[in-house]
């Protein structure tokens, strides 16, 4: 079928090693098989394993439990509240302040002008730093950080406003979270950010606003 010329060419191709090889144009990239995958040990992730107590008002006495926890504070109490009108909490904060606990309070400005004025004034009068949040329509956080940074730290948060109505009339929930340093640090960080943006309590402005309001 083929002439002697073809046979000569074939012999030459075999002898030079061209036949039997895959000839790939220079402008076409080749893909080599991936090497065996390298197994890297997963990074150790530290997670909180918290102890959580949940309470519901009005059936549970949330007020008494909050007062009890505040009474056990030894270092710090950081409060962030939409409403603070329950004397039981105000008195517990003042008592903590008097025994040397560093108490700091953030309140919603509008609600302080309208409802929390007496409690804010009482805290301010004994030297507890009170600041008002003005950047939001509603500064609606409700939390207390007790002894943040210590092993016995407690985070109190939920739907429960710090009012008498929250205990006696409303359906509310509260979490008491312990042994959760990462979560506590996150909450404390946001508390600090809100504190930085808030303005100092002005007793004269509050009195003036209340005199006009009522």
Quote the CA–CA distance of 70 and 10 in Å, as a whole number: 97
Q: Which of 57, 49, 65, 47 has the alpha carbon at shortest distance from 176?
A: 65
Residues 53-213: name the CATH superfamily. Answer: Endonuclease Chain A (3.30.870.10)
Q: DSSP string of 186-206?
A: HHHHHHHHHHHHSEE--HHHH
- Residue-wise pLDDT for 53-102, tens only, equals 999 999 999 999 999 999 999 999 999 999 999 999 999 999 999 999 99
d(CA 152, CA 186): 16
Known active-site residue 4: no
The residue count for the chain: 214
Catalytic residue among 147, 169, 194, 196: 147
| Catalytic position from the list 75, 140, 194, 195 | 140
| 124-148 average pLDDT score | 94
Give 50 or 11, the one with higher predicted confidence: 50
Choose the catalytic residue: 78, 104, 110, 142: 142
Q: Comparing 84-88, 111-115, 181-185, 197-201, which segment has the lowest mean pLDDT?
A: 111-115
pTM metric for this prediction: 0.74
Query: How far apart, in whole angstroms, are the C-alpha atoms of residue 104 and residue 92?
Result: 13
Q: Is 131 a catalytic residue?
A: no
Residue 96, helix vs strand vs coil = helix
User: What are the structural domain ranges in the chain?
Assistant: 53-213
Position 207 scores a pLDDT of 58
Q: What CA–CA distance (Å, rounded) separates 100 from 130?
A: 17
Question: According to the model, what pLDDT value does residue 178 have?
Answer: 97
């Amino acid at each position: 079928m083929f002439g002697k010329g073809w046979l000569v060419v074939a012999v030459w191709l075999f002898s030079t090693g061209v036949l039997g090889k895959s000839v790939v144009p220079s402008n076409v990239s080749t893909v080599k098989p991936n090497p065996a995958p390298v197994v890297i040990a997963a990074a150790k992730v530290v997670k909180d394993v918290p102890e959580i107590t949940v309470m519901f008002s009005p059936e549970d006495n949330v007020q008494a439990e909050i007062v009890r926890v505040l009474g056990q504070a030894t270092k710090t109490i950081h409060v962030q509240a939409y409403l603070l009108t329950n004397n039981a909490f105000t008195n517990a904060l003042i008592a903590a302040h008097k025994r040397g606990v560093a108490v700091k309070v953030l309140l919603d400005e509008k609600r302080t002008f309208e409802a929390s004025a007496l409690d804010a004034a009482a805290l301010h009068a004994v030297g507890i730093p009170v600041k008002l949040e003005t950047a939001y329509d509603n500064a609606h956080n409700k939390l207390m950080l007790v002894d943040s940074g210590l092993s016995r730290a407690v985070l109190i948060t939920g739907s429960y406003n710090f009012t008498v109505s929250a205990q006696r009339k409303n359906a509310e929930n509260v979490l008491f979270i312990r042994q959760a340093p990462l979560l506590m640090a996150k909450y404390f960080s946001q508390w600090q950010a809100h504190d930085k943006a808030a303005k100092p309590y002005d007793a004269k402005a509050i009195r003036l606003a209340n005199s006009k309001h009522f």
